[in-house]
Amino acid sequence: MTSDAGPGEISERRNVSDAAGVVVLGACAAWSLITATVREGRPEGVLLAVLAVAAGYAAGRICGALLPVATPCAGALAGLGLAVAVPHLAPGPQIVAPLGHSGATAALLTLCVGAACCAAWSAGSPTLRHVLVALAAGITVAAAFLSSTSGFVTCTAVLLCSLAAGRMTHRGLGIAGLALAAVLVTGMTWAVAGNALPDGLTASLEGQLTPHRIGLWRDALHLAHRNAALGVGPERFGELSSTANRTLLSDGKPHSALLQQAAEQGVVGVVLLAASFCWVLHALWRSPRPTPVVLTAGAALTALAAIATVGNALSFTAVSVGAGLLAGLATARPLPGESPRPEADVRPRGDRLTP
């Protein structure tokens, strides 16, 4: 992305983007405390998620400026190791029925592919670049072996988007496409929960999503309609959902970040969730990193948003930290005295990751 603005104006715009991020994350934390106080909820989970994203983002900004290739590569390997060694991504008793934790595994592997591709685009050596692309492809294959069908699909999508990003000279169109994809997934989820789709399409989706998940979504939407202003309070969905109460081993989640926010924190919670995603896209748009890096990270984070819209991926700290880390890596600024490398320098011949 090119601009006629001077260095001072560009720096000021990035400062505005950073300030907006602080305001949005702070508002998410503050609103969870307000709704928890009014509704006697438990805001610890929301506060931990906000802290995890903020910590990951800060670490990504710092490490991305110092080690733009090594840090995402190490993050991809660490995430892959975590997904293989700790498939449930959380200690203690595991609730595996009826929905399980496949969404969290898919989200983590998707972020790993995004990190590996970002490292590849940042690498100066063609040999190293090809090795990192092979790592991303290997993680995608690993998703299939880990029985994560959704993970394999999203990892493949991120890998293909990263390859296509090499041919894009203006990131604005790519960012707009990612925003549109997120809106479509969000609208589809809300329509399924509200039983607003044709019967044939609803039946088809019900077979993929499971009737139990759709029952949770409809409970969440019902609670949201009855408590639109403040919601029922953080972590209270499991107490009030008839579908969750009928399940012997329930995790108390509606398995949709969107509908959980609507049910537990009302309209304002939904607006803050949307604002968080919009802030990430805006920060990527204003990032000094090359366009392929920005769009690759944006594709991975959009895929994560889609997974979180139909699952409980954001309930796992490892996923929240990984999302913040990838966003920070893709928006890291050059160190003082350094200038960002021209995009032509980080692209192999033909603007592709592969020869």
pLDDT at 272 (0 to 100): 97
How many residues make up the chain in this entry?
355
pTM comes to 0.89
**Which value, in Å, is the radius of gyration of the alpha carbons in the chain?**
20
Q: What angle do CA 334, 128, 143 make, to 5 degrees?
A: 100
Greater confidence, 237 or 96? 237
- In order, the DSSP letters of 50-108 are HHHHHHHHHHHHHHHHH-TTHHHHHHHHHHHHHHHH-TTSS-SS---SSSTTHHHHHHH
Kindly indicate the confidence band of residue 8, based on its pLDDT and cuts at 50, 70 and 90: low
Contact predicate 44/69, CB 8 Å: no
CA distance 262 to 234: 10
Q: Is the pLDDT of residue 342 over 50?
A: no
How many of the other CB atoms lie within 10 Å of CB of 180?
11
Enumerate residues 6+ apart whose C-beta is below 8 A from 305. Answer: 182, 185, 277
Residue type, 330: A
> What pLDDT score was predicted for residue 52?
96
Q: How confident is the model at residue 13 (pLDDT cuts 50, 70, 90)?
A: low
CA count, 13 A, side-chain hemisphere, 16: 9
* Exposed / middle / buried, residue 168 (Cβ in 10 Å: 0-12, 13-18, 19+): middle
> Rounded distance, CA 115 to CA 330, Å?
9
How far apart are alpha carbons 221 and 35 in whole angstroms? 17
pLDDT of residue 15: 76
Q: Where are the alpha helices (DSSP H) in the chain?
A: 7-39, 44-66, 70-85, 102-122, 126-145, 149-165, 171-193, 199-209, 211-226, 237-240, 242-245, 257-285, 291-309, 317-330, 343-346
Residue 195 φ/ψ region, left for φ over 0, alpha for ψ in the -120 to 50 degree band, beta for the rest: left
Read off the pLDDT of residues 25-37 as tens digits, 9 standing for 90 and up: 999 999 999 999 9
How much is the mean pLDDT over the chain? 86
pLDDT value at residue 92: 42
* DSSP for residue 246: T
Region 296-307: what's the mean pLDDT? 96
**Which residue is it, tokens 């090499």?**
166
Q: Please report the pLDDT score of residue 71 as a whole number.
A: 96
pLDDT > 70? residue 345: no
Tens digits of residue pLDDT in 215-246:
999 999 999 999 999 999 999 998 998 888 88
Better-scored residue on pLDDT, 227 or 250: 227
pLDDT for position 249: 66
Q: In whole angstroms, what is the distance from residue 118 CA to residue 129 CA? A: 10
Q: Are 20 and 57 in contact (CB under 8 A)?
A: no
Per-residue pLDDT tens digits for 179-202: 999 999 999 999 999 988 888 887
Contact by Cβ (8 Å): 288, 340: yes
User: Which residues fall within 8 angstroms of residue 144, CB to CB, at 6 or more apart?
Assistant: 152
Both tokens of 209, joined, read 């999503």
User: Tell me, what's the pLDDT at 353?
Assistant: 46
Segment 37-54, tens digit of pLDDT: 999 999 999 999 999 999
